[in-house]
Amino acid sequence: MNTRQLITTYTFTPVVHLPVIWSNANTKEVMPFVQGTLERSLGIMGAGDMLISFMFTASGYKVPEGLAFTRFYKGRPYFNMTATQWGLYDSIGMLPAEFNETMGGHQPEIPTPDPYPLKGKEGRKRQARKMRIALHVMRTQVRAKGIIRKVWEKGEARSRKDYPQLSDEALLAALHEIGVLGMDLIPEFAILLMGAMAYPELLKRILKRYFPGREEALTNALMTGGSGITSAEHGYELLKLADIARDDKEALSFFTAGDFQPLTWRERLPLTSTGNPSFRSHFEEFLKKYGHRGVYELDIKNPRWSEDPTYLLEFIHSQIVNPVGVDFKEMQRAKRERARQEIKEKLGLRPSRFIISYLTKKSIKGVAMRETIKSVAVKGIEPTCLLFNAIGTRLVAWGILGERADVYHCAWIELTSILDGSWDGRGLKLLVEERKKTYEEYKRLDPPDVVIDETPQPKAVVQEVSGEVLEGIGVAAGQATGAVRLINHPKDGHLLQPGEILVAPSTDPGWTPLFLRASGLIMEVGGSFMRMMRSHSLPTSGSCVTITNV
C-alpha cells in the first residue's frame, strides 16, 4: 500500500499567490525524530493544526476552512510558515522577522504591505485582538489548575491499568478511549502558549526604552530561576538526589562501583538506610512525579523514565564521581538581584519600574504554566505506551507481528480492526516490514530545514561574523568560556564534564539535567521562545546552523 500525501492549497487570500514555505523550526527541537505509522495515524499533526488554528480564532480572527498549518515531509513534521507568518501579522501585528526570531529556524520572511501593522484603523483592530488574547490568558490561568488536575488524574488512572491482563474487548475500548494524545488540553495549551510568548515580549519592549541593547540580557536575568518550571525542577531534584546518595552508604557504593550497572538499582538498593529514608525511596518518589517524562518524550516509541531510568541514574553517577560544585540557586538569585538593582537605580520610583516587576511575575508564571501543561499532556503518553506494548505482545503471540515493537509501524485502524474481529491481520507482517524499511531510510536522511512548495531547499551554512566567530540567535544572554563538548543524544550526556559548553543538534525537556553541568549551550536550532533556558541562568545560542559539523 503506497500513498502520496496531498497538500492543500487553502490559505489566507492575501498570500494565495505566494509559494508555501514549510519549515521544521520548533518541530526540530521537540520532534526531531521520524514519525512512525502509528503516530501519524493517531492524528498528532491534526492536533498541531488545531493548536495553531485556535491561537488565531481565540482572538476573533478567522482562519480559512481547510487550511493546513502542518504536514509531513519524509516522515518528519513541518509548519506552514507562509500561512503562520501572515496570520500573525494580520491578526496581531507580529512582523515575520519577529516570529522567525521567536521560533528559530531558517525560513525566509514573507512580504508584508506595512512595516507598522499596529498603526491606523487596521492597527487598532489588531490591538483589540491582542487584548482579547490577554483576557483569554488571564481567564485560562485562573482555571488551569483545575484542568491540569483532572487531566493528570485521568492519566494516572489509565497508567494503573494492567493492560496485559485485559480482554481483547477491553483493549479495544482502551484503544478507542486513548484518542489523540493530549487532545483535552489543546485549547488551554494554545492560550497559555500565547501568554508565555506575550508577557516576556512586553517586558522586553518596556526595558528597551530605558536600556537599549540590554533588554534581552535584563529579561533573561529577571526570569532566571523562576519557580515552578517543571522542565527545570526535575534537574534540580536530580542534584539533590546525588547529595542524598553520597550520605547513603549502600547508594554510594552502588554509584562508585567499577561495574556501575544502572538497571540493577532496585535489586541492589534497600528502601531504608540506617532507619532513614534511603536514596532508593527518594528516587522512587522522583519517578512518581517525573517518571512519565523521557528523552524526546513526544516520540511514543521512546521509553518513559519510569520504564528505563538509565539516563537519570547515569546523570546522578556523573554528579557523584565528578560533581559540578556550583550553587545554582545562589548564582541565579545574585543574577536576579543585580538586574533589579540596575533597574532600581535607573528608574527610581517611576511607574515603569513597577510595571516591569509586574510583567516579570506574569512572564515567569506564564512560562511555568506552559511547561506544566506540556508535562501533563505528556502524561497521556505513558498509558498509551503501556497499551500499545500490550497489544504488540498479543499480536506477536497470535503470529500477526514478528516482535512487540512492530506495533508502532501499524495504523490505528489496523489495530482496531484486528481486535474487533473484522480482520484476521493477514498480510500485516509484510506491510510492517515495508514500513520499517521506509522508516529506516527516512532516519538516515539529513532532512532539509525548509521546503518551498514541494522543493527542499539547500541547508543554510554557519555564519561567520569575523575570523572564528560564529553567529546564532540569542536565546538566553550571558557569556561563557570553556571546552566544547558535542553531544548528539542525551544518552551520551555522561561524557559532558562540569563547565564545558554543550553543543547539541536540538534539545527538549529531557536534556535539561545536562544544562546543570554545562557553562553554556549552542544548538543548531532554537529561537528566543526557548525560555526554559533562562531558569538555569545558562547562556544559550540557537539556530547556529551546522555547528555540530564545525
Confidence (pLDDT) at 401? 97
Strands 520-523 and 501-504: parallel
Q: Residue 375 in contact with residue 384, Cβ under 8 Å?
A: no
Confidence (pLDDT) at 1? 41
Confidence (pLDDT) at 4? 46
Q: Which cell goes with 412?
A: 490505528
pLDDT above 90 covers what percent of the chain?
A: 44
Residue owning grid cell 506544566: 372
Mean pLDDT value of segment 381-392? 92
Task: Please write the tens of the pLDDT for every residue from 72-93.
Answer: 999 999 999 999 999 999 999 9
End-to-end CA gap in the chain: 41
Which position has the higher pLDDT, 210 or 105? 210
Residue 287: what are its φ and ψ, rounded to 5°? -65, -30
C-alpha span between 536 and 223 (Å, rounded): 10
Confidence (pLDDT) at 7? 47
Count of other CB atoms within 10 angstroms of residue 282: 16
Integer CA distances (angstroms), 105 to 442, 471, 526, in order: 20, 14, 7
Strands 76-80 and 272-273: unpaired
The CA-based dihedral angle spanning residues 105, 108, 113, 115, taken in that order and rounded to the nearest 10 degrees: 50
Radius of gyration of the chain (CA): 24
Confidence (pLDDT) at 194? 75
C-alpha span between 181 and 300 (Å, rounded): 10
C-alpha span between 198 and 140 (Å, rounded): 14
Mean pLDDT value of segment 397-412? 96
Q: How confident is the model at residue 274 (pLDDT cuts 50, 70, 90)?
A: low
Task: With a cut of 60, say whether residue 8 has pLDDT above it.
Answer: no
Task: Please write the tens of the pLDDT for every residue from 414-451.
Answer: 999 999 999 999 999 999 999 999 999 999 998 898 99
C-alpha span between 188 and 91 (Å, rounded): 19
Helix (H) or strand (E) holding 464: strand 463-466
Average pLDDT, the chain: 85
Chain centroid to CA 42: 19
Burial class (CB in 10 A: 0-12, 13-18, 19+), 103: buried
Integer CA distances (angstroms), 491 to 26, 237, 313, 544, in order: 22, 19, 11, 22
Q: How confident is the model at residue 186 (pLDDT cuts 50, 70, 90)?
A: confident
Task: Please write the tens of the pLDDT for every residue from 129-159.
Answer: 988 888 888 888 788 788 888 888 888 888 8
C-alpha span between 44 and 178 (Å, rounded): 13
Q: How confident is the model at residue 522 (pLDDT cuts 50, 70, 90)?
A: confident
Task: Please write the tens of the pLDDT for every residue from 472-497.
Answer: 666 666 777 888 888 888 888 888 88
Confidence (pLDDT) at 329? 80
Task: Please write the tens of the pLDDT for every residue from 360-374.
Answer: 998 888 888 888 888
Integer CA distances (angstroms), 125 to 61, 96, 122, in order: 10, 19, 5
Q: Residue 380 in contact with residue 209, Cβ under 8 Å?
A: no
Task: Please write the tens of the pLDDT for every residue from 188-221.
Answer: 777 777 777 778 888 988 999 999 988 888 888 8
Mean pLDDT value of segment 8-34? 86
3-state helix, strand, coil in the chain (%, to 5): 55, 10, 35
pLDDT above 70 covers what percent of the chain?
A: 88
Helix (H) or strand (E) holding 77: strand 76-80
Mean pLDDT value of segment 515-542? 69
Task: Please write the tens of the pLDDT for every residue from 308-343.
Answer: 999 999 999 999 988 887 777 888 888 889 999 999
Taken in order 237, 201, 505, 43, the sign of the CA dihedral is: positive
- pTM over 0.85, yes/no: no
Task: With a cut of 50, say whether residue 180 has pLDDT above it.
Answer: no
Strands 450-452 and 455-456: antiparallel
The CA-based dihedral angle spanning residues 150, 154, 160, 162, taken in that order and rounded to the nearest 10 degrees: 170
Q: Residue 66 in contact with residue 134, Cβ under 8 Å?
A: no
Q: Where are the alpha helices (DSSP H) in 228-298?
A: 230-246, 249-256, 265-268, 279-290
Would residue 107 be called left, alpha or beta, if left means φ above 0 and alpha means ψ between -120 and 50 degrees?
beta
C-alpha span between 372 and 362 (Å, rounded): 15
* SS3 call for 385: helix
Residue 426: what are its φ and ψ, rounded to 5°? -65, 130
